[in-house]
Amino acid sequence: MSAVEFRGVRLQLGERCILADTDLSVRDGEFIGVLGPNGAGKTTLMRAILGLIEPAAGAIRVLDRPVLRGNPAVGYMPQVRSLAARHRLSGWSFVASAAQGHRWGLPRLDAAARRDVSWALEQVGAEPLAKRLLAELSGGERQRLLLAQALLGRPRLLLLDEPLISLDPPHQRAVVELARHIQRELAITVLFSAHELNPLLDVIDRVLYLGNRQAALGTVDEVITGPSLSRLYGAEIEVVRLKGRVFVLSGGLEVERDEHRHA
């Protein structure tokens, strides 16, 4: 079964084309790293899978059904996450605030919904954070709670949009390992977007690289090559492998890291 399938999909934001005539299929149970230069469409792609952006052409299927806005089988952790207004909430209340689709305030949860919140906290190892205030938590601890929110409803497809932003390398590793653990334990599909390949290198099954209105989906060895990335960046790209890491270079600069830093 395909978890996500694009058939001749064209995605646009206003007059700007993000993806043109794209065909791809993500298999059920895969862990996919979603990469590409800034503005390539990583967030737009996830919003289209969520049904928040309608394709200008083509069709999207999610879990073998036409894409559906508000699909409870799809969990989403967005890139832009403002937590300032919730700093006085406990970890449990913060996760509960997203239950049953609520965005603001604490809903009245029945016993089943309360069990779902407790289950989500357990999946991400955040039970010790349940009684602590959000304001007291580190960035890595908050990411665990945000991931718990995305697991409410026990989704079969999990979309994680740049969850490594602003985290130091040890916390990045912890988030990646946690996402991989959840994907295996729950036997679900994960699309994990990032600005750099290396933190995901040891855990992804395949990589989906976006750029220049195109998409390439395949193994790291198939996609992360000079010719493939030159086509997606629209510029000459060199790929260097050194001590188990992959560096994407253009004119001697590390493209993925430098583009993110300058954005």
Q: How many domains does the chain have?
A: 2
pTM: 0.91
DSSP letter at 182 equals: H
Q: Round to whole Å and give the CA distance between 100 and 103.
A: 9
171 is in which domain, residue-wise?
1-73+156-217
Q: Round to whole Å and give the CA distance between 34 and 130.
A: 31
Does a structural domain hold residue 240? Answer: no
Q: Are residues 32 and 43 in the same domain?
A: yes
Domain end point (choices 107, 139, 154)? 154
Phi-psi region of 187 (alpha: psi -120 to 50; beta: other; left: phi over 0): left
Does a structural domain hold residue 46? Answer: yes
Does a structural domain hold residue 187? Answer: yes
Q: Give residues with Cβ within 8 angstroms of 187, minimum separation 6.
A: 29
Which of 85, 94, 175 lies closest to 133, judged by CA? 94
Domain end point (choices 154, 183, 206)? 154
Q: Are residues 164 and 149 in the same domain?
A: no
Does a structural domain hold residue 259? Answer: no
Q: Round to whole Å and give the CA distance between 18 and 209.
A: 13
- Tell me the β-bridge partners of 159: 76, 191
Does a structural domain hold residue 30? Answer: yes
- The pLDDT profile of the chain, 263 residues, written as one tens digit per residue, is 799 999 999 999 999 999 999 999 999 999 999 999 888 999 999 999 999 999 999 999 999 999 999 899 999 998 866 665 566 889 999 999 888 664 445 667 888 989 999 999 999 999 999 999 988 888 889 899 999 999 999 999 999 999 998 888 999 999 999 999 999 999 999 999 998 999 999 999 999 999 999 999 999 999 999 999 999 998 999 999 998 899 999 887 888 765 544 34
Tokens 């960046």, residue? 233
